[in-house]
Amino acid sequence: MMRFLACIVFSMIVLLQGALPLPAQNLLTDSAYSSALQRMKTYSVMLPQAYDTAQTGAVKRYPMLYLLHGWGGGHLDWSRKTRLKEYCQNREILVVMPDANNSWYVNSSTNAQARYEEYIAGELPTLIATRYAADTSKQAIAGLSMGGYGALMLALKYPQKYAVAASFSGALTMPRDLVVREGWNKAAKGNNGDFTLPSLLEAFGKEQTARDTNSVFTLAKRSSGLDSAGKARLPYFYLATGIQDPLIHIVPGNRELRDSLYSLHLRYEYHETPGKHSWEYWNEALKAFLPRLFDFTGWK
């Protein structure tokens, strides 16, 4: 009799667990086939504390923040190397962390199966919205180093998609300043990332056209800050960089874009604080950015 009752209790627990909300900031790893990349791609999703897997009644949909990794990174970086869960505690936001290899987040000029711009800006939001309670009308994007460049580049190309775009230690000048001669990137001489040359060549090729098309400086100059009704066309830009960054192009490149945004009368804020090109700095940069994201958008 006791064994029978125990089985009933265990069965009830299993049934109830399926209807209970997920634990706070539940982190999931998921994957799906990408037509743009012609293969399966894995990504991470962090769900908010109040997310209800049962989705009974009217489904509440949550704003989305995309966090882009840097060169050599992957979709698990932000969740493993920062205190992302803590910083988003009690926040009603769905965080999406894609994997983009060393693609620079562009549609490759040399590889037809590496259309990462199409994947991140086009395919992924639709996919996430079909699998999770995501509101694609409320999106923001941020990234570090290569991902910082990617976040700003995508926001400038698709301004209607993102309310805010943030870059932490953004490698903003490397795609624009790529100069190939005898197998070396002249813009990357010294402590400036020679190791990125193969990925830059695959992403942008050797022709100037692709670099101009994807330069955040060119894109910003071609953009219009306000429409005829005085409404902002572009996202709010958030730039942050560590003043002790050892990569010699990072701080000057960020200052150059800051000056460009200022001269173009675009909405932005800029932060130089102590820090290097490291996860210690990016953790602090993320911590400082998230409250500004919620303040600016009004998201909870």
- Look at residue 13 and tell me whether its pLDDT is greater than 50: no
Residue 207: pLDDT band with limits 50, 70, 90: confident
Residue 183: pLDDT band with limits 50, 70, 90: very low
Residue 232: pLDDT band with limits 50, 70, 90: low
pTM: 0.86
Contact between 237 and 168 (Cβ < 8 Å): no
Arithmetic mean of pLDDT, 54-59: 56
DSSP helix/strand/coil, 101: coil
Residue 184: pLDDT band with limits 50, 70, 90: very low
Q: Which residues contact 278 (CB under 8 A, 6 or more apart)?
A: 242
Q: How far apart are CA 70 and CA 183, in angstroms?
A: 23
Pairing verdict, β 134-144 and 164-168: parallel
C-beta atoms surrounding 119 within 10 Å: 23
Structure tokens at 201: 């060549």
pLDDT above 70 covers a percentage of the chain that reads: 81
- Please provide the CATH number assigned to the domain covering 22-53+60-297: 3.40.50.1820
DSSP helix/strand/coil, 137: strand
The per-residue pLDDT of the chain, averaged, comes to 85
Q: How far apart are CA 101 and CA 147, in angstroms?
A: 11
Pairing verdict, β 134-144 and 180-181: unpaired
Q: How far apart are CA 295 and CA 280, in angstroms?
A: 24
Residue keyed to tokens 């982190």: 27
